[in-house]
Amino acid sequence: MARKNGGLRFQPSGGQRTPAMPAGKKQRLSIERLAADGRGIAFSEGRTWFVQGALAGEQVDVRVLAAHGKVVEARTERVIVASAQRRKPPCPYVERCGGCTVQHLSHEDQLALKQRQLAEQLMKVASVAPEAWAPPLVSPEFGYRRRARVAVRWDPKQHRLDVGFRAAASQQIVAIEQCMVLVQPLQQIFQALPGALRALNTPQAIGHVELFHGTASAVLVRHTAPLGDTDQAHLRAFCKQHGAQLWWQGAAAPVADNPDAELGYTLSAWQLHLAYRPGDFVQVNEAVNDAMVAQALDWLAPQPGERVLDLFCGLGNFSLPIARKAAAVVGVEGAAGMVERAAANALRNGQGNAAFHQADLSEPMQGASWAEKGFSAVLLDPPRDGAFETVRHISSLGARRIIYVSCNPATLARDTLELHKQGYRLTRAGVLDMFPQTSHVEAMALFEKAQDGQAI
């Protein structure tokens, strides 16, 4: 028999439950400061609000995007009292597209935000500041992006193919006619792409499309089902019209429609040509990449008799320029295909003093054959989760100089603390503005170890 409810109501442990905050709710807020990612922070009704498109000191009307306990994510709907830092965003899609989230700040203020984020992380986590700050490495704030993924989704209810970029905090696709951050050759392809895809007999077979520009332009079509002959011919004609290579990707690795097609980019200051394939990691901003490589060589100062180690070397973006200066360079990378292409790039460019190896750099590197002879200097360019396992034992390599290229200030700061414990001091650091109009921070840091008997 069911037990009768006596009418008593019990509160869950921990006190009164916070009322739910529904998505779409509107709220007026006063923004107190900026978060590291450029969102405004406000405090209201016992909650912390992170508001896209808001600046410190502003009063804004916002719309809730999502709520997680006492943390609310929201988007600015209307600015009531504006900050003196605010500018009119140049892009007409900024309120819907989730890509360029800090366009309402001038480029100068964007750089200041990134500089502050890097400095705060280093001090908060590692209690350290560099002995010298380098000026940010910059590019034009628009028209810089040479690689982009275009979102594609078939809507069966509307019988429609949506093509564009993801909306902020949403899977919704925003259809736009022009993306201001793409390099000019990709602008033209991007504008014509939606019409070309919608004209296919089976547009629902398209997963996404990637655009590339280097020594040639390229369009990679990711398909979830085989495309018929008519659709393939249509996409070939589209790429031919725009002077672009066509690449296909089903369940396997990307394949060029023309087997003789080669995609690559140049490092002109070092007379280098690097071949790559869609799916390989390539820096999206050519101008900043060139400046970054030049700064790395300047700081690392490889000498003719030295051996240099390049960890997370990719296609040889740093390895091959360093090989122009050093006696020998060893590049190590986790992806087998990129190791093969890095070796081929060395051969193509006549760099017989550069050798490449595959290794899982999330694992300790003691005992690796490529590390046995030691190195005078090390450069590492890890992914966002950093290189903690690598730096834990890096002093065993004998390197006196280390360049750390980072795409995440938090993990750079964590690894800085570990390097400091091993006797390395942070002598220089600076921001790399690889992604203008976003809050994404990339940085370069130089660590140096004193010679035996010298103070650090």
360 carries a ligand binding annotation: yes
Collect all residues with Cβ–Cβ distance below 8 Å to 69 and sequence separation of at least 6.
18
Determine if residue 306 is labeled as part of a ligand binding site.
no
179 annotated as belonging to a binding site for a ligand = yes
Backbone angles phi, psi at 311, to 5 degrees: -95, 145
Q: Who's near 169: CB < 8 A, 6+ residues apart? A: 52, 65, 66, 73, 75, 98
Residue in 173, 158, 213 with CA at minimum distance from that of residue 93 = 173
Whether residue 80 contacts residue 28, with contact meaning beta carbons closer than 8 Å, is answered with yes
Q: Is 333 annotated as a binding residue?
A: yes
Residue 244 to residues 216, 221, 230, 252, 297, Cα–Cα distance (Å): 7, 12, 19, 22, 33
Contact 402, 419 (CB under 8 A): yes
* 75 contacts 62 by C-beta, under 8 angstroms: yes
Residue 363 per-residue DSSP state? S
Per annotation, catalytic residue among 126, 296, 407, 434 = 407
CB atoms within 10 A of CB 360: 10
Sorted by sequence, the CB contacts under 8 Å of residue 158 that are 6+ apart come out as: none
To the question of whether residue 231 is assigned a binding role by annotation, the answer is no
CA dist 353 to 19, 295, 347, 377, Å? Answer: 65, 22, 10, 15
Q: In terms of C-beta density within 10 A (0-12 exposed, 13-18 middle, 19 or more buried), how is residue 208 classed?
A: middle
Pairing of strands 147-155, 206-213: antiparallel
Asked whether residue 97 is marked as a ligand-binding residue, the answer is yes
d(CA 38, CA 150) in angstroms, rounded, equals 24
Q: Token pair of 264, please? A: 């690559």
407 in active site: yes
239: annotated binding-site residue? no
Binding-site positions for S-adenosyl-L-methionine: 283, 312, 317, 333, 360, 381
Binding-site positions: 91, 97, 100, 179, 283, 312, 317, 333, 360, 381
Binding-site positions for [4Fe-4S] cluster: 91, 97, 100, 179
Which positions are catalytic? 407
